Amino acid sequence: MSERTKIAALLKSTDENIQVQAKGWVRTKRGNKHVSFIALNDGSCLQNIQVVADNATISEDILKEVQTGACLSVIGQLVPSEGVGQNVEIKAEEIMVLGKSHAEQYPLQPKKHSFEYLREIAHLRPRTNTFGAVFRLRHAMAFATHQFFNQKGFFNLHTPIITGSDAEGAGEMFRVTTLDPQHPPLNEAGEVDFKKDFFGKETSLTVSGQLEGELGALALSEIYTFGPTFRAENSNTTRHLAEFWMIEPEMAFYDLNDSIALVQEYLKYLIDYALTHGADDIDFLEKRLLEEEKTKPAQERSPMTLTEKLRFVLENDFEVLTYTEAIDILKNSKPNKKKKFQYPIEDWGADLQSEHERYLVEKHFAKPVVLKDYPKDIKAFYMRLNEDKKTVAAMDVLFPGIGEIVGGSQREERLEVLTSRMAEMKIEEKEMDWYLDTRRFGSAPHSGFGLGFERLMLFITGLTNIRDVIPFPRTPGNADF
């Protein structure tokens, strides 16, 4: 018996009139009394392969079970196709139904379903064209990430998911405990005694692998992490997940500007990779978006197609400016003067909201923007204090349609400056001793950043809700499947 070949390979095959075996799921079946045309998809690519089943060869009993959603194994001749849209098709000699489906109850109809509806049907969502495209592109971006950093001599460091420290100091962490919530052990003061907990202390799911990453960089020079991160912020937006993936490179001997150069090179590499290796999927998503755009009023339609947007970012330098320059632009902007911003910009020191970021990126510069040198009071403790003592060497990369996609900084490598910043921010030195040791023994200038993988995927796919670029989204109130 012939061995199974993936549909992606069969469709590219130039060998004709050979026996092949394909396995996959039925998308549609049509035909007449004499012959059935089955569209079979195995997820290896967007396209289906057409299986032609002649009643003389395939029994009626079998054909009855070939229903939408059923899983088949098909053996037959790979022959040139007379139908439009495909070069080859399989002339079936044998069909085995590996898994039946009940077409009447099958929740996917051959029409477009809303994303909200699909999010509720975990097992079928990945079988749609759209999610197949998204998840293949997601894989491509993960693979390209490893390839990019590997080529540059970075090492992938696995940082812990369970942690005893709060890297971003925002305190929005999920607790990890094995204590009985009904009857936790209490100490003499009547408080929960975490000494009796699994790790002998309070622990949480990590918000970032950076602090551990810094230890790696100060030994291996250049590392990157790529792992899940967790934030218990109750933000029900289209850009926030409670569980998301982050890529965090950390580089010894890099200053902020070196880091800004690296992030541009990396993002462009990813976009180029997607356009080169995911062209079919991007093309499909682009057509889908164009259809959707047609339903919108003219002034809300995007002036660029998905591919044009990707190419634009690939071919243009990002605009790099300081927070202070950005505040000046925003202060004097039309929406600020006309009181159109929900949070008006008045004074230096204000935290930028996504409406401000999007104004800069989408209206003012009309390209990706890197903002740097933020006021120290709105940024994390580990960022390097600038000469002015007011700002830190931070940088955020802002993308059109998304806002912040990357956050990073040069790290404070000077022990005294770092500990006095920690004191200002009321971070216990004792808790962070293991981290401060890097500054005690061979400290070095170093920098790094974090790319939100799902925010990247929003940009690459053109989708607008972050729940639709991760296979199993976790958001406030949602942890099904």
Closest to Mg ion by CB, 288 vs 379, is 379
Give CA–CA dist 10/330, Å, rounded: 55
Q: Which stretch binds ligand 4AD (CB under 6 A): 149-157, 191-199, 343-351, 406-414?
A: 406-414
Q: Which stretch binds Mg ion (CB under 5 A): 52-60, 317-325, 352-360, 402-410?
A: 402-410
**Bridge partners, residue 72, by sequence:** 24, 97
Closest to Mg ion by CB, 407 vs 473, is 407
Give CA–CA dist 365/361, Å, rounded: 5
Candidate list 40, 289, 406, 458; residue touching ligand 4AD; CB under 6 A: 406
The answer to whether the CB of 38 falls within 8 A of the CB of 7 is: no
Give CA–CA dist 325/346, Å, rounded: 14
Q: Does residue number 76 form part of the binding site for Mg ion (CB under 5 A)?
A: no
Residues numbered 429 to 458 that lie near ligand 4AD (CB under 6 A) are 448-450, 452, 454-455
Residue 467 interaction partner, one of Mg ion, ligand 4AD, none, beta carbon < 5-8 Å per kind: none
Closest to ligand 4AD by CB, 75 vs 451, is 451
Q: Does residue number 240 form part of the binding site for ligand 4AD (CB under 6 A)?
A: yes
Closest to Mg ion by CB, 41 vs 409, is 409
The answer to whether the CB of 429 falls within 8 A of the CB of 464 is: no
Q: E-assigned strands of 32-87?
A: 35-41, 49-54, 71-80
Residue of 74, 62, 67, 70 whose CA lies nearest to 6: 74
Closest to Mg ion by CB, 78 vs 457, is 457
Closest to ligand 4AD by CB, 179 vs 444, is 444
Q: Which strand (E) or helix (H) includes residue 150?
A: helix 129-151
Give CA–CA dist 139/157, Å, rounded: 19
Candidate list 407, 421, 463, 467; residue touching ligand 4AD; CB under 6 A: 407
Q: How many residues does the chain have?
A: 481
Q: Please provide the distance, in angstroms rounded to a whole number, between the alpha carbons at the two ends of the chain.
A: 38
Candidate list 154, 226, 244, 374; residue touching ligand 4AD; CB under 6 A: 244
Candidate list 227, 407, 408, 452; residue touching Mg ion; CB under 5 A: 407
The answer to whether the CB of 96 falls within 8 A of the CB of 72 is: yes
Give CA–CA dist 358/65, Å, rounded: 52
Candidate list 241, 263, 313, 352; residue touching ligand 4AD; CB under 6 A: 241
Q: Report the nearest approach of ligand 4AD to the CB of residue 291 (Å).
A: 27
The answer to whether the CB of 162 falls within 8 A of the CB of 203 is: yes
Find how far residue 251's CA is from the centre of its chain: 22
Residue 454 interaction partner, one of ligand 4AD, Mg ion, none, beta carbon < 5-8 Å per kind: ligand 4AD
Q: Report the nearest approach of ligand 4AD to the CB of residue 456 (Å).
A: 8
Residues that bind ligand 4AD (CB under 6 A): 167-168, 208, 210, 231, 240-241, 244, 246, 248, 404-409, 448-450, 452, 454-455
